[in-house]
Structure 1
Amino acid sequence: MTPRDASDDSRWSDLDRPPLNAAALRRGLVRVGSLWSEVEVVQRTGSTNSDLVARAEAGEAAEGAVFVAEEQTAARGRLDRQWTAPPRSGLFFSVLLRPEEVPVARWGWIPLLTGVAVATGLSRAAGVDTALKWPNDVLVTVGGEERKAGGILAERAGQGGVVVGVGVNVTLKAEELPVPQAGSLALAGAVSTDRDTLLRGVLRALEDWYGRWRSAGGDPAACGLQETYAAGCATLGRTVRAELPGDRSLIGEAVAVDGDGRLVIATKEGVQEPVGAGDIVHLRPA
């Protein structure tokens, strides 16, 4: 689908959900010395990740490009799950990173780093408590229950690039949630649902953490990322079930996140097994 500009005639069709102010976002984010090189906002597209990957591979996007859509019609989450939300009800954006000075073996930390930045930025800007479910689901509390309000998907792009997509439910009402386990910042009692402020807060936190990680050569311990991630990870200390590739499952206590960003699960047999890919189900409340 061809992206449409955000200034089309439906711009003010929902006054409870005003459009993002692209010009103000550019003024606040694109500056000398900033990671962010451009900010583009479109009304509608299939997937911001797919669009930005295509641009990166065609050599049409520089590091720090930010591509935002008010609505996505073919958004994807981890494990090829669909991500749906009404127009202007959340933040749906992708960024292009080119961590050329970081060994590729450490690039697996990029989605976890983004999770820390998103959780930090939203906590500050929206005034809600956030946590991370391994590897990078953003959790909020709604009615005393953990709910997923955001997710992250990283994809390799050509010419040494990584495109990281972020989706966050901001103003979704209970009847608009795609699944009962989902949540939104509004349902979690956010003091602010101004999407311009939220997006700026997330991107500034992402710039900060990406800069620290890159300066440390991608070493998650040296830059404090590994410790910060563990402190905000709601999965650690829980009994979990890991649904692994090959129709295998593993049940045990999530005891650590290792230097490669893998979740270490201790089984009742006394074995500690690192999990690098799979679906994690929390079985015991914190």
Structure 2
Amino acid sequence: MTPRDAADGSRWSDLERPPLNAAALRRALVRDGGHGGLYCDVQVVQRTGSTNSDLVALADAGNADEGAVLVAEEQTAGRGRLARQWTAPPRSGLFFSVLLRPAEVPVQRWGWLPLLAGVAVATGLSRAAGVDTALKWPNDLLVTVDGAERKAGGILAERAGEDGVVIGVGINVSLRAGELPVPQAGSLALAGAVTTDRDPLLRAVLRSLEDWYGRWRSAGGDPAASGLQEAYAAGCATLGRTVRAELPGDRSVVGEAVAVDGDGRLVLATEEGVRQPVGAGDIVHLRPA
């Protein structure tokens, strides 16, 4: 490799961050020609603005089926909740989106999908990377770096047409301390992961998502019957802590996070003795109080 290769952003310019093997991912995840499992296709692109935007556009145009997976080696316009930016060096993380069409689940239960994805991502990474993971309600993935909780991933759910939801996931895998976008961010590498090989990590996360989505869908989206509500609560670092939920209009609610209710809302027990549920769509920030 020449210096010019590195300056030009060659796909081999950082040998510690090899490209994903798209063909091997398809062989591992797409079963029986797209039948018999969730995933119908896995596509890997070198660079795009946002995998969520791309997959929503494909779904809206009728050019994507349920189980389509779009992965980017680099995202230039990745975003989280409330259009917050998500940037990382090429091939330093997992940036992907999945199209789901839960036709048999009542729409009012679709709000559980980002929480379901959080459970799936945390479960898959705990197994494959060997790191302790936790979830900050509603959709942040936390790891422990030098004894402190750090955000290493996030999830964004967006509607796609009348019957679809695109779940976008961003995970910091091999970011070094000097590459973190903000000091309170983290990565699997900084958390002591046993591997930063993104191929097995992505396979583990997608298989976990397929498993949890299948359970939830089979239960008609019932979070209790599917085990999702219990699993989310067990892995949620927010529960048991006193937090301030900052709401639109400069309003806020302070209380101990005591539960996640059947609608996926965080229930706060306030000093006034009120149990106040807050929904993800109503939250601007959720901070320690």
TM-score normalised by the chain length of structure 1: 0.95
* Structure 1 residue 232 corresponds to structure 2 residue 232: no
Aligned residue identity for 2:288: H
What's the secondary structure of 2:39's corresponding residue?
Answer: coil
Which residue in 2 is equivalent to 1:123?
A: 126
* Structure 1 residue 30 corresponds to structure 2 residue 37: no
Which residue in 2 is equivalent to 1:113?
A: 116
Query: 1:9 deviation in Å?
Result: 7.9
User: For 1:14-29, what aligned pairs fall within 5 Å after superposition?
Assistant: 14-29=14-29
Aligned residue identity for 2:15: L
Return 5+ residue gaps in structure 1 as ranges: 1-7
* Structure 1 residue 82 corresponds to structure 2 residue 85: yes
* Structure 1 residue 50 corresponds to structure 2 residue 56: no
**1:71–1:86 contact (8 Å) kept in structure 2:** yes
Query: 1:225 deviation in Å?
Result: 0.3
**1:230–1:256 contact (8 Å) kept in structure 2:** yes
**1:46–1:73 contact (8 Å) kept in structure 2:** yes
What's the secondary structure of 2:58's corresponding residue?
Answer: helix
What's the secondary structure of 2:277's corresponding residue?
Answer: strand
The farther-off stretch of 135-144 and 241-250 is: 241-250
User: For 1:177-192, what aligned pairs fall within 5 Å after superposition?
Assistant: 177-192=180-195
Q: Aligned equivalents of 1:245 and 1:9: distance in 2?
A: 42
Q: Aligned equivalents of 2:11 and 2:175: distance in 1?
A: 18
Identity of aligned residues (%): 83
Aligned residue identity for 1:20: L
Q: Aligned equivalents of 2:97 and 2:219: distance in 1?
A: 24
For 1:281, which of 254, 277, 287 is the aligned residue? 287
Query: 1:166 deviation in Å?
Result: 0.1
* Structure 1 residue 168 corresponds to structure 2 residue 171: yes
What's the secondary structure of 2:23's corresponding residue?
Answer: helix
What's the secondary structure of 1:108's corresponding residue?
Answer: helix
Which residue in 2 is equivalent to 1:202?
A: 205
Which residue in 2 is equivalent to 1:4?
A: none
Give per-residue Cα distances to partners, 1:67-117, cap 9 Å, x unaligned: 000000001101110001000000000000000000000000000000000
Aligned residue identity for 2:228: L
TM-score normalised by the chain length of structure 2: 0.94
Query: 1:159 deviation in Å?
Result: 3.8
User: For 1:62-81, what aligned pairs fall within 5 Å after superposition?
Assistant: 62-81=65-84
Query: 1:245 deviation in Å?
Result: 2.0
Q: What is the alpha-carbon root mean square deviation over aligned residues?
A: 1.0
Give per-residue Cα distances to partners, 1:11-68, cap 9 Å, x unaligned: 2111010000000000000003110000000000000000000000000000000000
Q: Aligned equivalents of 1:266 and 1:80: distance in 2?
A: 29
Q: Aligned equivalents of 2:119 and 2:250: distance in 1?
A: 30
Which contiguous aligned blocks of 4+ residues in structure 1 show a shift greater than 4 angstroms?
none
Q: Aligned equivalents of 1:78 and 1:176: distance in 2?
A: 22
Which residue in 1 is equivalent to 2:159?
A: 156
Q: Aligned equivalents of 2:103 and 2:58: distance in 1?
A: 18
* Structure 1 residue 254 corresponds to structure 2 residue 282: no
Aligned residue identity for 2:23: A
What's the secondary structure of 1:107's corresponding residue?
Answer: helix
Q: Aligned equivalents of 1:193 and 1:263: distance in 2?
A: 33
Question: Number of aligned pairs?
Answer: 276
Query: 1:247 deviation in Å?
Result: 1.8
Query: 1:282 deviation in Å?
Result: 2.6
Give per-residue Cα distances to partners, 1:125-183, cap 9 Å, x unaligned: 00000000000100000000000000000000014000010000000001100011100
* Structure 1 residue 133 corresponds to structure 2 residue 136: yes
**1:169–1:185 contact (8 Å) kept in structure 2:** yes
What's the secondary structure of 1:16's corresponding residue?
Answer: coil
Which residue in 2 is equivalent to 1:5?
A: none
